[in-house]
Amino acid sequence: MSLEIEIVPILSDNYVYLARETVSGKVLCVDPGEAAPVLARAEELGWDIDTILITHHHGDHVAGVKTLKAATGATVIGPGGDSQDIPGLDQSVADGDTVSFGSETFKVIGVYGHTSGHITYFAETDQALFSGDALFSVGCGRFFEGTAADMWPGLLKLRELPDASRVYCGHEYTATNVAFAVSIDADNAELHRYAGIVAMLRSEEMPTVPANLGLEKKINPFLRADDPTFAEKHGYQGQEGVTFLAHIRAGKDSF
């Protein structure tokens, strides 16, 4: 593995990530919604934050950027194309760009709809995906600034990533997501097995991240909106994936 990744829980259910690239020793931070807990953890580890990666403009992902940047001198990389400016942004990136970080290369993948310019970062060597609020374990982000038509192409791009990929998402929403998924996909045996693991982890207050993308492809309803058998169970046979995705998202919004 080229990255050593530390989870820093902040606020009520957000995750910030610190990642150390093991060849260069460079350290990055993903979506610091607060600065103090991130600085404290980095100090404990003896890690100097060099780069801050941002997925989207929401406060719970960027509110710590200015303080963290002032304290560390880190370079802030994020979506210049989001609907609101990213504080302290030094380098604007967009879908299809790459970001070199020591021996690692991050591919920038746009997944729009939660915000209009939301991006995710895929570490090609380590096969770690920082998915922000676009993809959660067994869930996806609410469509605050878009529709299913905006989100679906992005989810398809994420689905093309290798099964071994680990998903580091922006929130610990897994238990609620699993409850919703079970309600619409009751005979999915792998989902039930995962529900047991999630319940066990959460009862110990352990994070459910990183999620495994290969498993997500089988149990995350939002990644399966074009599965004909799944669609048929909900009366969406023969419909486009995007149409069924809108139905699933509406169901989750009122769950």
Question: Which of these ranges, 97-105, 126-134, 198-206, 233-241, lies near Zn ion under the rule CB under 5 A?
Answer: 126-134
Interface pick for Zn ion out of 41, 57, 58, 224 (rule CB under 5 A): 58
CB 153 within 8 A of CB 240: no
Q: Output 27 or 54, the one with its CB closest to Zn ion.
A: 54
194, HSE (Cβ side, Cα atoms, 13 Å): 29
Question: Which of these ranges, 99-107, 167-175, 213-221, 236-244, lies near Fe ion under the rule CB under 5 A?
Answer: 167-175
Site string for Zn ion, 80-119 (x = CB under 5 A): ----------------------------------------
User: Taking CB under 5 A as the rule, does residue 60 contact Fe ion?
Assistant: yes
Q: Is 189 exposed, middle or buried (0-12, 13-18, 19+ CB in 10 A)?
A: exposed
CB 31 within 8 A of CB 209: no
Q: Output 69 or 171, the one with its CB closest to Fe ion.
A: 171
Q: What is the smallest separation between the CB atom of 132 and Fe ion, expressed in angstroms?
A: 7
* Structure tokens, 39: 């600085």
CB 77 within 8 A of CB 61: no
Q: CA 221 to CA 130: how far, in whole Å? A: 20
Nearest Cα residue to 121 out of 74, 168, 82: 168
Q: Output 133 or 150, the one with its CB closest to Fe ion.
A: 133
Question: Which of these ranges, 1-9, 52-60, 119-127, 212-220, lies near Fe ion under the rule CB under 5 A?
Answer: 52-60
Q: Output 32 or 102, the one with its CB closest to Fe ion.
A: 32
Amino acid at 78: G
Which residues of this protein are in contact with Fe ion, per CB under 5 A?
60, 133, 170
